[in-house]
Amino acid sequence: MRTNYWLLAAIAILVLVAAWIDLPDNPGVHFQLGPVSVNQDIKVHEGLDLRGGVQVTLAADVPAGTVVSSDTMQAARTIVENRINGLGVSEPLIQLQQETNRILVELPGVTNPEEAIASLKGTGLLEFVDTGSTSFPDGAVITTSLGGPAPGQTASQTPTAGTPAATSPATPGASAAPPATSTPSATSTPSATVTPTPGSTPTAGGTPAAGSVATPGANATPQVSPTPQAGQPQVYQTILTGKDLKSASAGVDQYGKPEINFSLTDEGAKKMAEYSSTHVGKYLTITMDKVVLSSPVIQTPITQGDGRITGTFTLQQVQSIVLQLKYGSLPVPLKVVENRTVGPTLGEDSVNKSLLAGAIGLSIVAFFMIAYYRFPGFIAVLVLVAYSAIVFALFKTIPVTLTLAGIAGFILSIGMAVDANILIFERTKEELRAGKTVGAAIEAGFNRAWTSIRDSNVSTIITCAILFWFGLTFGASVIRGFALTLAIGVVVSMFTAIVVTRTVLRFLHRWFSSSPTLSQRWRELWIWQH
C-alpha cells in the first residue's frame, strides 16, 4: 500500500508540472548551472492554417529538355529540409512533387520571407577566394577561377578596398580591446578578420606577420592583380570550396560579439595552412554562387584546420552565413516558381469557435459520466482533465505543431480515454453483482477490461503509424498531424486509464474501508443505479 501512496504522489507532481507547462504565459526554462546552460521556451506551435506563414514552390532550374532524376530531386529536398531546420522553423512541410520536379515548402510563423527564401534557393557553390588586397561588400558578384557569375548576374567592377591599417595579430585569449575601425559607408562592407580558433598553435610558415583589418574608405583605390584585359572582369583564384569545409557554427568572441567558427577537412586544412602562411594581411573572400558572403582579412596563419571569422557582424548575418556554409551543396540549381505569404486560413474567430465547440463537447461527456456513474464518473472526469493537461503539455514540449486536423486527433483521443473508463466501470459493476467486495471487484474490473483496452488502443496506434507513413511519403501534412496527435493521445489515455484511475480508486477504497459506515456507502456509490 505504501507503493500506492508513492505512485499517487508521483501522479500529483506530474499533473502539477503539466499544468505549469500549459500556462498561456509560461516563461519557459532558462538557467545556467556552471557549464550547463538551458534556454528552452515553452509555447504552442501553431501550423500554417492557424498561424500563417510562407509558402514557396521551388523548381529545378535546368535547360528545357534536361531530365532530372528522382534521386537528385530527393537529395535537393533533403538539403532544403536541412536549411529549413537551420532556420529554426518548427514542423515545416517540404513536399517533393516528382512529376513536375518541384518542391513545395510551407514555413509556419516565418516573419522574414525574403531571408528564408534566399537561404533555400541557392545552388550553394561555396568558395574561399583569394582577392589579395581587395575587399568586396556583401552581395557583390565576382568571377573566380571556377567560373563566372550565373546568367543575369553582372560581376562587380568597383570593389571596396583600402590601405589596411596595421594592427597586432589577434591573439586567442588576449584581454586587449578589439582594434578600432572607422565606420563604413553605406556601400561598404563591415570589416572582418579570419584567425585560428583559440587553442590552435600556428606552426608551418614561421612567426605570423602583423595582421590587418580592412578600413573601408570612400576614396580608396582598389588593388587588383593581375590587370584584366579591357572589357574583361577580374578573375580571382579559388583556394577552397565547400567540399573542403567540415563544419560551421555561430558563436561569440571574448567580447560577446557574434563570430563564425569553421572547421576544415584534412585536405582543406593542408590547403589553408599553405595559403594563409604566405598571405597574412590579405583578403580571403567567401562567396556563394559568386555572390560575396563575407570578405575577411587573414590575421594569422591557420595551420590546424580550425578558424573563426570575426568582424562587425550582426547575429542575423552570422546565422545566415553559417546556414549557407553548412547546407550549401545542392545537386541541382533551384528557382522560385511561386512565393506567397499565407495568412491564417481559419482566422481568430474560427479558432475561438473551434475551442468553444470542444469545450461544449467535453462538458457533455463530463455530464454523462457524472449523471450515469455518479462518484466513479466524477473520478473519471478528474482523470480526464489530468489526461488533457498531460497531453497538451507534451504537445508544447515535444513540440507538436497544432493544425485543425491535429486538434481533431486530440479531441478524438479524449473520447477514447473516456471509453476506457467506461469499460473498467462496467466490468467492476459486473463483479459487484456477482457478490465480490468493492476492492476485489475493482481489481477484477481492471484486469478484465485491460485486454479490451489494450487491443483497441494498439489497433489505433497501428492505424496512426500507417497514416503517418502515408502523410510522410506523399507530403500530406494534414494526415500526418492528425496521426501524430491521435497516437500521443492514445498512449497517454492508456496510462491515465490503467495507472492514474486505478491508483486513485485504490486510494479511495482504502479510505472508505476505514469504517463500516463508509464502506457501505462506498459500495452504494458503485451499484446505486441497480
Mode of pairing for the β-strands spanning 165-166 and 401-402: unpaired
CATH code of the region 2-28+346-527: 1.20.1640.10
Predicted confidence at residue 22, as pLDDT, reads 93
Residue 269 Cα distances to 301, 329, 367, angstroms: 11, 20, 71
Q: All 3 cell numbers of residue 89? A: 522553423
Phi, psi angle pair for 250, to nearest 5°:
-90, 145
Distance, in Å, from the CA atom of 36 to the CA atom of 46, rounded to the nearest integer, reads 30
CB atoms within 10 A of CB 7: 17
Predicted confidence at residue 1, as pLDDT, reads 61
Predicted confidence at residue 331, as pLDDT, reads 67
Give the residues across from 135 on adjacent strands: 160
**In this predicted model, what pLDDT tens digit does every residue of 228-240 receive, in sequence order?**
555 577 889 999 8
Predicted confidence at residue 19, as pLDDT, reads 95
Phi, psi angle pair for 44, to nearest 5°:
-80, 130
Predicted confidence at residue 93, as pLDDT, reads 75
Distance, in Å, from the CA atom of 113 to the CA atom of 231, rounded to the nearest integer, reads 37
Q: All 3 cell numbers of residue 86? A: 537551420
**In this predicted model, what pLDDT tens digit does every residue of 94-141 receive, in sequence order?**
878 766 778 888 887 776 777 777 767 655 677 889 999 988 888 888
Residue 309 Cα distances to 108, 139, 193, 253, 298, angstroms: 32, 17, 6, 10, 9
Helix (H, G, I), strand (E, B) or coil at 33: strand
Verdict on whether the full-model pTM lies above 0.85: no
Distance, in Å, from the CA atom of 527 to the CA atom of 127, rounded to the nearest integer, reads 79
Task: Report domain extents, the chain.
Answer: 2-28+346-527, 124-170+185-329
Distance, in Å, from the CA atom of 295 to the CA atom of 128, rounded to the nearest integer, reads 9
Predicted confidence at residue 156, as pLDDT, reads 64
Predicted confidence at residue 329, as pLDDT, reads 60
Residue 113 Cα distances to 7, 205, 214, 285, angstroms: 49, 46, 32, 27
Q: All 3 cell numbers of residue 337? A: 516558381
Predicted confidence at residue 206, as pLDDT, reads 33
23 and 68 Cβ atoms separated by less than 8 Å: no
DSSP state of 328: -
Phi, psi angle pair for 227, to nearest 5°:
-75, 125
The helix (run of H) or strand (run of E) holding residue 375 is helix 347-397
Side-chain half-sphere exposure of 141, counting CA atoms within 13 A: 11
Predicted confidence at residue 448, as pLDDT, reads 93
∠ CA 461-46-465, rounded to 5°: 15
The parts of the chain modelled with pLDDT lower than 70 are: 1, 82, 85-91, 98-99, 111, 119, 121-124, 149-192, 198-231, 324, 326-331, 344-351, 474-477, 527-530
- CA-based nearest residue to 311, from 296, 324, 293: 296
298 and 208 Cβ atoms separated by less than 8 Å: no
Distance, in Å, from the CA atom of 449 to the CA atom of 501, rounded to the nearest integer, reads 13
Under 8 Å CB-to-CB from 275, ≥6 apart: which residues?
130, 239, 284
Mode of pairing for the β-strands spanning 143-144 and 165-166: unpaired
Distance, in Å, from the CA atom of 208 to the CA atom of 202, rounded to the nearest integer, reads 8
Under 8 Å CB-to-CB from 376, ≥6 apart: which residues?
425, 428, 505, 525, 526
Q: What's the first-to-final CA gap in the chain, in angstroms?
A: 31
Residues in the chain, overall count: 530
